[in-house]
Amino acid sequence: MQISIISVGKLKEKYLREGIEEYSKRLSAYCKLQIVEVSDEKAPEEMSAAEMEQVKRKEGERILAQIKQDQYVIALAIEGQMWSSEKLSAEMDRLALHGRSQVAFVIGGSLGLADTVLKRADALLSFSKMTFPHQLVRLVLLEQVYRAFRISRGEPYHK
C-alpha cells in the first residue's frame, strides 16, 4: 500500500519532527510512505470571511495539485466521521482488497480545508470535535496509520 500525507505548512517543532521520523521508520515495514508539505498562505491575524476563503482556496489549489487521479482521498476535517482505530484498520483493509492501494490523507492549514478539497475527498475523517494544531495532527495521523497496520496483521498494539 502507498500512503501519502499531504499537509499544509512546514513542520518546525523538533519534537514533532522526531515523532514523525519515528513513525515513518516504523511504517516502512508496512507501506510506502510519502509526506508532502505544501506551503501555507501568508495571512494577517485579523481577516474577513472573504479573505479566509481566499487563503483556503489558494492552499486548496496547492493540495489538489499533489493528489493523483487514482488516489483514494481521506480528508481530515472536524465535520468528518469519527472512526475508532479498528475502523480505520478495517477501512484500509477494504481499500486494499478493492485495489485502492494508493491512499492520500489530507491535512489542511490553520483555517481548515477549501470546499474544493472536501469535494474531492472520498471520505472525511475527524479525530475529535476539538481543534488541534495541524502539525500535531500529522503526528497523530501517522501513529494511527501505524496502529491500523498492526491491528490488521494481528500484531500487538497498545490499547
Q: Is 129 annotated as a binding residue?
A: yes
25 to 63, 69, 135: CA distances (angstroms) = 24, 27, 18
Q: Is 28 annotated as a binding residue?
A: no
Helices (H), the chain: 14-27, 49-66, 85-97, 115-120, 134-152
- How buried is residue 72: exposed, middle or buried, by Cβ count under 10 Å (0-12/13-18/19+)? middle
Residue 132 · residue 109 · CB < 8 Å: no
Q: Is 116 annotated as a binding residue?
A: no
- How buried is residue 42: exposed, middle or buried, by Cβ count under 10 Å (0-12/13-18/19+)? exposed
Q: Is 139 annotated as a binding residue?
A: no
- Provide the 10 A C-beta neighbour count for residue 87: 14
Q: Is 128 annotated as a binding residue?
A: yes
Q: Is 76 annotated as a binding residue?
A: yes
Binding-site residues from annotation:
76, 108, 127-132
Binding-site residues from annotation for S-adenosyl-L-methionine:
76, 108, 127-132
